[in-house]
Chains A and B, each alone.
Chain A
Amino acid sequence: MKLQLRGITKRFGSLVANDRIDLTVEQGEIHCLLGENGAGKSTLMNVIYGLLQPDDGEILVDGKRITCNNPADAMAVGIGMVHQHFMLVPVFTVAENVMLGAEQTYGPGFLDVDAARHRVREISERYGFHVDPDAIVENLPVGVQQRVEIIKALVRDAHVLILDEPTAVLTPQETDELIEIMRQLKANGTSIVFITHKLREVRAIADRITVIRLGKVVGEPDVSASESELASLMVGRAVTLAVAKDPPDVGDVVVDVRGMTVVDERDHVVVDDVSFDVKSGEILAVAGVQGNGQTELTEAIMGLQQRATGSVLLHGVELLGKSVRSVLRAGVGFVPEDRRVDGLVGDFTVAENLVLDRHDEPPFASGPMLKPAVVRRSAKDRIAEFDIRAGSGATLAKTLSGGNQQKVVIARELSRPLRALVAAQPTRGLDVGSIEFVHRRLIAERDKGTAVLIVSTELDEVSALADRVLVMYRGTVVGIVPGDTDRDVLGLMMAGVPPEEAAERARQHHTLVEGLATGQDGRE
């Protein structure tokens, strides 16, 4: 099946998310759609899948114009989609999820669960998915849940499969497996639209590449294009992620984490006996694939996790078991992972957000009274100092761009005296300019003698900032290595390979993904 897009345009208010996009996906090809976060990839795919209606342009399947008013229409013409956030009902079984919306029934609408089980087993065996049709989805690991999503699409006879950032939640190994699955699907004649911003994966699997930036198609580079070529197309200018920084002036241990264990709501151990320390004047980066316990680790340090055991010492004083407020008061700054949810009150003004954690301290309050005038004046200074592009302190935080919202959070946390700073995914979803700004401020904070702990899933960021790197895998510490460790080694460690073995293997092999791309991967 051949899928063509012609001049697709989608606007949200004044924002043009997709601007006259043309795209052609041939039968049985893997077409990579490459672009930064916010470039408009997901919007485009939602348009194809009928979740959004384009303002202009047309979609053709095998040369015939189609309109998808809803996902049902898209599925009817053979388009399937695996969303970034899985569209699975957590309390349903695999079989129930797979049949939902395309149920086989007998009699007066009774579900034919056996038929669904059979279909799941059949597809599962054909592609080696190893999925139990009767397992409850919420009990399955993410990698398996993703396969359930793929089964869902295949059961509906998808000839074009859209995979939206499928590797964001996977380990390198699971990514390899997914790539293998994509090859098999391709061999069976399925076309795949593979959305990503990870260059290596593109080079490993793509038959064709389309790069979009700021809602527009900016190039269709050859698959042999180098990573730096792809990167500069994607970002729009030569990328120098490396920020100038001096060697660290390391002092005493500030934060000392011992035997930290965190259990989540479903009783799973998500952080498992983690120990490390962060010294004054250094940046320790916690690297790992998303969902390996990093988020919970930072939350436990801040007092945000109820079921955390172990010890967190700040200059020898125990923090674990204390309230968030006490931890903040003790001199720990916190930049949460999801600024929109955890960092800002969207309906508060910028000024209010800038004092969110200090609103009841002098000079912003005296006793139970708030002092709005002081809050306003202080906001004016912060806005200038951190170059926050907001009309005034009275602007509502939710109306700011992502970069400016993050600046508000950073300004709030850095404008009080800190002993330690915990920053989770400090640049996620930001434009390059904001990333540079944030990185410079973090390094400046380090140079002031603060102990800085950063969590990042982006190896580039880790390499750019870290003085030491702690790699987490399934809640445990794989190892703590110097900041300049080879990224292949870090990649292997992120898959759970111990540091020595990783270093050894990295010497002998390219990483699998690169190997696959060049066809020298040790296949017999």
Chain B
Amino acid sequence: MSENSSNELTIGQRFFRELTTGGTALTLLSILLAMLIGGVLIVVSDPDVQETAAYFLSRPTDTLLAIWESASSAYAAMFAGSVIDFEAASFGESLIPLADTLTYATPLIGAGLAVALAFRAGLLNIGAQGQILIGATLAGLVGFGMDLPPVVHLGFAVLAGFIGGAIWGGIAGLIKAKTGAHEVIVTIMLNHIAALLLAYLLTTQLFRRKGQAAPISPFVADSAALPRFFADSRLNLGLFVMLLAAVYSWWLLSRSTMGFRFKAVGHNPHAATTAGISVGRSYTAVMFIGGGLAGIAGASQVLGTESYLSTSIAGELGFDAITVALLGRSSPIGTVAASLLFGALRAGAVTMQAQTGTPIDIVLVVQSLIVLFIAAPPLVRAVFRLKVRAASPMAAEVGGKV
């Protein structure tokens, strides 16, 4: 097995090797570089900095102070909003930011796994957004539209989420398998179709909350809600569902025959075909399963975090999913780790916006920069004058024709 060669090393040795051969170092440096550039953007657009820069020549220290103030306060707020808030009234409250981070990370895990699994089978799943939307729609429908006993209701709603996402992903996989149509184009188009479909459904009697002009659904029934852990936080059982999904994905990829087929197809579809592995069936299966996991992510949004369905239920999760899978190098464990990082970025950015007025969109900038840098190891190496070797996880082997 491909992992076997490293099985003979101790965990410590492996960690050291990973660190020195570049994978981890590269990731850390990419994050650092992205935060740095994000900082520059925060600083140059800061009115205080611009004001002091006007008399930079006469009193340069003012400008430098303003710069330091601008960047450090933004990132300090970000830390306080995502990890520990030292100024909180009680110890319990100081940990709320951490819970927020986990809340934001929850759907990212499932959506990221959807992209990561497909990636291992050689497909670029740009369609997590649509899969989340349809999953959330079905889960929501079961959640507020049906009357079932507690546990059963929740289980059924989560299953509906899985099925919704799985169908939406499976369609793309099936079209790829049957016609060879490029999955990237199909999933992009399916994302838009899903968004329009949900927008339409929210105008119908079945979905719209009574007496509401805005296109939002009723709240999901308590019996279908994912239980929350703390009163002050939206963190809910969805996190554990997602962690289970990650464990399942790990098992699928490294211990199951189906995962073996996915990887064979991903590395070399020709040889897989010749060995009797149906490439089309693998494509459909991996998109079905991946889509299902994204669907569960959608379910956790509607059943746990948000409690009702709206057009913005998926936010930018579809894009985040791609960045999470890439940062996590398409491994389930990596995806979980990357989800935590981006969950923290997002949770922190909310606080940052509230405290320093720095627009939350800085997260998008930092996030995309991280992925760009990770994608181009030579670039980061050039910046830091590193001499390391690391395989780019997304070097052009996946992709192909549109």
Q: Do chains A and B touch in the complex (CB under 8 A)?
A: yes
Of the candidate stretches A5-13, A236-244, A340-348, A472-480, the one touching chain B is A340-348
Contact among A325, A328, A344, A375 for B278, CB-based, below 8 A:
A325
Contact among B256, B270, B274 for A302, CB-based, below 8 A:
B274
- With A348-B2, A375-B1, A394-B4 as contacts: A370 and B271 at CB distance below 8 Å: no
Structural contact, A394 and B5, CB atoms closer than 8 A: yes
Q: Distance (Å) between the CB of A300 and the closest chain B CB?
A: 13
- With A325-B278, A352-B2, A394-B4 as contacts: A345 and B260 at CB distance below 8 Å: no
Interface residues of B in 240-279 (CB under 8 A from A): 255-261, 263-264, 267-268, 270-278
- With A325-B276, A394-B5 as contacts: A356 and B271 at CB distance below 8 Å: yes
Assess whether A56 is interfacial by the CB under 8 Å rule.
no
Contact among B5, B268, B273 for A324, CB-based, below 8 A:
B273
- With A370-B255, A394-B1 as contacts: A347 and B267 at CB distance below 8 Å: yes
Residue of A327, A352, A369 with highest tally of chain B CB at under 10 A: A352
Structural contact, A351 and B268, CB atoms closer than 8 A: no
Structural contact, B4 and A323, CB atoms closer than 8 A: no
- With A304-B274, A334-B274, A356-B275 as contacts: A346 and B1 at CB distance below 8 Å: no
User: What per-residue 1/0 map shows which CB atoms of B368-389 lie under 8 Å from chain A?
Assistant: 0000000000000000000000
Structural contact, B4 and A372, CB atoms closer than 8 A: yes
Q: Bound state CA distance, A281 and B365, in angstroms?
A: 68
Residue of B256, B257, B264, B272 with highest tally of chain A CB at under 10 A: B257
Q: Bound state CA distance, A347 and B270, in angstroms?
A: 13
Chain B residue numbers with a CB within 8 Å of A372 are 1, 4, 255
Residue of B5, B263, B274 with highest tally of chain A CB at under 10 A: B274
Q: Bound state CA distance, A456 and B312, in angstroms?
A: 62
Q: Which residue of B lies closest to A338 (CB)?
A: B270
Q: Bound state CA distance, A342 and B256, in angstroms?
A: 23
Structural contact, B256 and A369, CB atoms closer than 8 A: yes
Q: Which residue of A lies closest to B272 (CB)?
A: A345
Structural contact, A323 and B260, CB atoms closer than 8 A: no
User: What per-residue 1/0 map shows which CB atoms of A321-337 lie under 8 Å from chain B?
Assistant: 00111011100001010
Report the number of A-B residue pairs with Cβ-Cβ less than 8 Å: 92
Residue of A329, A345, A372 with highest tally of chain B CB at under 10 A: A345
Chain A residue numbers with a CB within 8 Å of B263 are 348
Residue of A344, A357, A370, A376 with highest tally of chain B CB at under 10 A: A370
Q: Distance (Å) between the CB of A448 and the closest chain B CB?
A: 22
Structural contact, A370 and B260, CB atoms closer than 8 A: yes
Give the number of residues in B that approach A within 8 Å (Cβ atoms). 24
Secondary structure class of chain B's binding surface, majority of residues: helix
Q: Distance (Å) between the CB of A375 and the closest chain B CB?
A: 7
Chain B residue numbers with a CB within 8 Å of A351 are 1, 4
Q: Bound state CA distance, A345 and B272, in angstroms?
A: 8
Secondary structure class of chain A's binding surface, majority of residues: mixed
Chain A residue numbers with a CB within 8 Å of B257 are 359-360, 365, 368-370
- With A323-B276, A352-B2, A376-B1 as contacts: A359 and B260 at CB distance below 8 Å: yes
Assess whether A294 is interfacial by the CB under 8 Å rule.
no
Assess whether A349 is interfacial by the CB under 8 Å rule.
yes
Contact among B4, B261, B276 for A328, CB-based, below 8 A:
B276
Q: Distance (Å) between the CB of B255 and the closest chain A CB?
A: 6
Structural contact, B255 and A369, CB atoms closer than 8 A: yes
Structural contact, A357 and B276, CB atoms closer than 8 A: yes
Q: Bound state CA distance, A342 and B264, in angstroms?
A: 12
Q: Which residue of B lies closest to A325 (CB)?
A: B276
Q: Distance (Å) between the CB of A314 and the closest chain B CB?
A: 15
- With A323-B276, A324-B274, A359-B257 as contacts: A352 and B1 at CB distance below 8 Å: yes
Q: Distance (Å) between the CB of A260 and the closest chain B CB?
A: 19
Chain B residue numbers with a CB within 8 Å of A348 are 2, 263-264, 267
Chain A residue numbers with a CB within 8 Å of B2 are 347-349, 352, 394, 396
Structural contact, B276 and A349, CB atoms closer than 8 A: no
Contact among B1, B256, B258, B267 for A345, CB-based, below 8 A:
B267
Chain B residue numbers with a CB within 8 Å of A393 are 4
Q: Bound state CA distance, A361 and B4, in angstroms?
A: 21
Chain A residue numbers with a CB within 8 Å of B4 are 349, 351, 372, 376, 393-394
Structural contact, A357 and B264, CB atoms closer than 8 A: no
12 contacts between A and B (CB under 8 A): A323-B278, A324-B276, A343-B271, A348-B263, A352-B1, A352-B260, A357-B276, A357-B277, A359-B257, A360-B257, A368-B258, A370-B257
Binding site for A on B (CB under 8 A): 1-2, 4-5, 255-261, 263-264, 267-268, 270-278
Nearest 10 pairs of A and B residues by beta carbon:
A325-B276, A357-B275, A356-B275, A360-B257, A394-B4, A347-B267, A345-B268, A394-B5, A324-B276, A342-B274
Known: A342-B273, A356-B277. 8 other contacts (CB 8 A): A323-B278, A341-B270, A341-B271, A342-B271, A351-B4, A356-B264, A359-B257, A359-B260
